[in-house]
Amino acid sequence: MASAKTDGVTVVDHPLVQHKLTLMREEHRSTQGFRRLLNEIGMLLCYEVTRDLPLEQIEIETPISKMMAPKIAGKKLVFAPILRAGVGFLDGMLELVPSARVAHIGLYRDPDTLVAVEYYFKAPHDIADRLVIVIDPMLATGNSATAAVERLKERGAKDIRFVCLLAAPEGIAHMRGEHPDVPIWTVAIDEKLNDHGYIVPGLGDAGDRMYGTK
């Protein structure tokens, strides 16, 4: 998959992913269509974020002969969706890595201050030994993303990656400033945030659009 990488940020520019994002941005895309596309992009981003996982050679037997063949080695994965929109990526990712564990992180944005408030956190006990992939479609102010990563680190996570669909320059700067050890994968970097903390041009409220709550 093609991608462009600068300073810890990988923009996944594969045509399929870019095309699907454009469909999602369209104002009149149905709830069902939006959710399906988010799920599909989740799967494609999972492919990209796991691209460098180390392999080991193991001996297997095919119906014809023995051979040495590659198998993923080392750390197991945890997908950590930030509730609620992050859940939109989850099924697609679990399709590709069915053995992964899931950490749920409940954070909402206070509409006035835009500060992230935690209301739920549940993670596997062995999170320190796993690669944790935090998922949230929209990296806007970066308040939720930085708070989620902070909570995960407090619970022992050491190897963390962040995957989103759309990022604002402000959110990237915030994340890179607070957690420079956490690389970011996104499909696009948009122009800016508006006064309400929405990404411009963006796609609106991802949670509302995927669940039809507006």
Q: Active-site residue numbers?
A: 109, 113, 205, 208
CB of 198 to ligand URA, least distance (A): 4
CA dist 192 and 87 (Å) reads: 24
For residues 173-212, which are near ligand URA according to CB under 6 A? 197-199, 202, 205-207
Report the alpha-carbon angle 69-75-80, nearest 5: 125
Of 137, 79, 143, the C-alpha closest to 107 is 143
For residues 47-86, which are near ligand URA according to CB under 6 A? 85
- Residue 170 touches ligand URA, criterion: CB under 6 A: no
CB of 107 to ligand URA, least distance (A): 11
The binding track of 140-159 with respect to ligand URA, each residue x by CB under 6 A or -, is x-------------------
* Cβ nearer to ligand URA, comparing 46 with 199: 199
Instruction: Find where tokens 């006035």 sit.
Output: 112
CA dist 71 and 183 (Å) reads: 24
- Taking CA atoms, 103 is separated from 54, 81, 114, 175, 191, in Å, by 23, 7, 23, 20, 31
| Contact set with ligand URA (CB under 6 A) | 85, 138, 140, 197-199, 202, 205-207
